[in-house]
Amino acid sequence: MSDNRPLLLKNAAIYQGKNLVLSGVNLELRAGDFAYLIGETGSGKSSLLRTLYADLPLQGGEGSVVGYNLSTVKEAEIPFLRRKIGIVFQDFQLLYERSVYDNLDFVLQATGHNQVDENKAKIEKVLQQVGVSTKGHKFPHQLSGGEQQRVAIARALLNAPELLLADEPTGNLDPATSEEIMLLLKEIGQSGTAVLMATHDYALLLKFPHPTYKCFGGTVNAAVQRTL
């Protein structure tokens, strides 16, 4: 990582179309940092995350993600930016007609990795990392919700991302499984990947305290304290 800072926003303005959603956003994550993003539904969390992976343009202020300037990034550069970011969604977004192995291989091939042996090694590594090394032959419908989310996290880790964005990754899981996923995300952060996790689950914040950013009143308030 070139500057040890995969995410930096300074006085950023986050728009959804022509509508200003958040202004004056200051956010910084260095390698290995873990932070939460909280806020009510409609407060701007998803728009902020979409801006970070260049699904929405940054229309004001300064922003850089994994070495790319969000204000000037070209459309042709966006796939390369996204290869350095892992994204985990609440609803898993797995391809249900493909096995776990083929889900991951599809992502690798879509990002230009076509070497069979190399892909196999990468897939085995991430499945081992997330604790589902024996599930590669199964289809998503044959897995529990927690196992599906582990596969989704494995998919996000395939390209060794500098930054992991997790959008409500425990939202569809029971409390015990949610804690398992949190421990896994914590391990990923400790390995050097920066993690930004959007969540509504305040119980997790109290059990697994990390710096917290709150979307409220049209801006993002940073809190370095360990509790809300």
Token digits for 180?
């398992």
> What share of the chain in percent tops pLDDT 70?
96
pLDDT at residue number 225: 42
Q: Note the pLDDT tens digit of each residue in 28-78.
A: 999 999 999 999 888 999 999 999 999 999 999 999 999 999 999 999 999
pLDDT 10s digits, 168-193: 898 888 999 999 999 999 999 999 99
Is residue 88 within 8 A of residue 154, CB to CB? The reply is no
- Confidence tier at 228 by pLDDT (50, 70, 90): very low
- C-alpha to C-alpha distance for 218 and 220, rounded to whole angstroms: 7
CA distances from 34 to 20, 77, 103, 187, 212 (A): 27, 26, 27, 10, 9
| Both structure tokens of 163 | 């930054």
Q: Which amino acid does the sequence have at 109?
A: Q
Token pair listed for 44: 């701007």
Poorest-confidence range of 99-103, 108-112, 120-124, 153-157? 108-112
Where in the chain are the domains? Answer: 7-84+161-223
Asked if pLDDT for residue 118 goes beyond 50, the answer is: yes
Dist CA 62 CA 13 (whole Å): 9
CB-CB contact of 6 with 160 (8 Å): no
| Helix-, strand-, coil-residue percentages of the chain, each rounded to 5 | 35, 25, 40
**3-state SS class at 57:** coil
pLDDT-above-90 percentage for the chain: 76
CATH superfamily of 7-84+161-223: P-loop containing nucleotide triphosphate hydrolases (3.40.50.300)
Instruction: Give the pLDDT band (50/70/90) at residue 120.
Output: very high
CA distance 182 to 34: 11
pTM, to two decimals: 0.90
Q: What is the dihedral of CA 223, 51, 203, 6, to 10 degrees?
A: -60
The candidate with the shortest Cα–Cα distance to 167, out of 85, 69, 58, 62, is: 85
